[in-house]
Structure 1
């Protein structure tokens, strides 16, 4: 019994019995979270919101510059095949430029 009393334990959130900190589940009730539900800090929702904003900023910037490049490629060519080729090319170049710009603006904002 002295071994059990020396182990660090927590009270199971579901059944109230002592459970070792290293246990994956409560041996009495089988709860997968014997210490209770995970509590996130007060800063976590803000960080999650900032990450969502960063993702949206990156996507909008790269898509807008890609669309701008595609419109430029379409407007500057007269032939059908060259218009298709240059629309795709300038669209890709716009996206390739937009991703680093969106990434840099996300870094600057922090």
Structure 2
């Protein structure tokens, strides 16, 4: 399959649980999901298909909570929003060097 510059593919995966991953592919001109809720609906369906049982859903504020809500509802388990503050690189606005959690924990990316 031949692709132009505008159709360059972005690949990645949604991760849940310790080792479970869902492969994703996206083209530059089309988002994978229309919004975060639809992403959560998709993730919930995929988790249900595995038959695995989970006790809680953790949603990282701000963007992760709208994804986590439909997952928690579909699995009928509690949702715990987590608040963290990104520690950004001074030379690159979007680059996260680590995070500071709401309870004071400091985590550095490796």
User: TM-score, normalising length from structure 2?
Assistant: 0.21
More helix by share: 1
Q: Which has the larger radius of gyration?
A: 1
Quick check: which one's strand share is greater? 2
Flag the structure with more relative contact order, 1 or 2, with Cα contacts below 8 A and sequence separation at least 6: 1
* TM-score normalised by length of structure 1: 0.21
